[in-house]
Amino acid sequence: MRKLLAISLLLLAGVSCLRADQPPGFEPIGYSRRGDIIAYVGKAMCEANQDGSIIPFKIRLYRLCEDKSAFTLLRTINHIEEYAPNMILITDKAEYVVTFDSAGEIGRGKHVVVVYGADGEMLKSWSLEQILDPADLKKAPQSVSSTWWRSGARVIGSSILVNGPMKIVLNEEVGFYQYLLDLEKLEWRKVR
């Protein structure tokens, strides 16, 4: 019995060592296009900003090591929103990290999209009214807690392309609209 217990403990120790250099938590909430940088969101533990405001969530970026054996912590960002982001996009070298919406409140609030720079500082945030023109805002389906303003988004160089809600036309999905966020200029532009 003691031998079985000792072997079990050794096996458990070996498994925990294999996981020791992996990022904590569940599935990552964001990836770079190449997949070598991933983002996790976690609750901050009673931390405050310099102005005394509480930091509710931290975004931790991890980079895949060159030998592809493990991820290492690249940067930690204090998320400005009260709730965890719904989606995170990361440029190839993590010069920009872009968060979308809040869990449970898509398209609502003053921080629908937030851009963080290479040092983790917030560069700019937008409400949905600052992104969409009034006609497109009316087209976005609404529920009690959300405005379903996007069906997808992706990184294209130093820009983010956001597709509006989809509709079916002649058996083909077509977006109502598309907007492009230029991350260097921090400006939105309607594409379609």
Q: Quote the distance between the C-alpha of residue 76 and its chain's center.
A: 13
Q: What is the pLDDT of residues 112-124, one digit of tens each?
A: 999 999 999 999 9
pLDDT band of residue 61 (cuts 50, 70, 90) is: very high
Q: What is the pLDDT of residues 91-103, one digit of tens each?
A: 999 999 999 998 7
Mean pLDDT of 58-66: 90
Q: What is the pLDDT of residues 22-52, one digit of tens each?
A: 455 556 788 898 889 989 888 776 666 677 7
Paired sense of beta strands 166-169 and 122-126, if any: unpaired
What does the mean pLDDT of the chain come to? 82
Is the pTM value of this prediction over 0.75?
Answer: yes
The answer to whether 83 and 103 are in contact (CB under 8 A) is: yes
- Write phi, then psi, for 12 (nearest 5 degrees): -65, -40
